[in-house]
Amino acid sequence: MLVDMLSGDEGKIFNDSHTKAAFMAAIGLMIHNFPEGIIMGAGFLANANLGIKMSMLIAIHDIPEGIAVSAPLMASRVKVSRILSYAFITAFPTLAGAGLGVYIGNISDVVLGECLGVASGIMLYVVFGQMLPESLRLWRGKTVTFSLLLGLILGLVITNVL
């Protein structure tokens, strides 16, 4: 609703539908990146190795997210420097979440476990309640299943081999 109001005739701030799509993706990713940061911060507190593994997995999964924000902006011929600025702003909640995860996780082991549990629950909801159904809606072929399996295998390799 807010995006539609901002793109209306009265206060048009979006040049085209590509810019609007990038803005919507950026807002969603900013909300999504906050619990990722909590997982990273609390993960490092629980065990440095866990923090490194979670950071690597999150970094790999953030690549398509960055593409989702930058591709529409590139299609709208936005300057590369502005695209990089928007990408940094979109990723900033990860840093804020990591700081909060470290701060709250330092209270006690019980609170640290709760932080990891809540952040993991949020991420599971995002993946199974939002991302997977949307990917299946966009593409009904076997590619989504193969991509899901590839991601699971990659995650297993990173967490068990490293």
What would the 3-class secondary structure string for the chain be?
Answer: CHHHHHCCCCCCCCCCHHHHHHHHHHHHHHHHHHHHHHHHHHHHHHCHHHHHHHHHHHHHHHHHHHHHHHHHHHHCCCCHHHHHHHHHHHHHHHHHHHHHHHHHHCCCHHHHHHHHHHHHHHHHHHHHHHHHHHHHHHCCCCHHHHHHHHHHHHHHHHHHHC
| 41-51 pLDDT tens trace | 988 988 888 88
Specify the pTM. Answer: 0.71
| pLDDT surpasses 90 at 96 | yes
Q: Are 56 and 162 in contact (CB under 8 A)?
A: yes
Q: Which of 16-20, 28-32, 78-82 has the lowest mean pLDDT?
A: 16-20
| 53-73 pLDDT tens trace | 888 888 888 888 888 788 888
pLDDT at position 12, please?
54
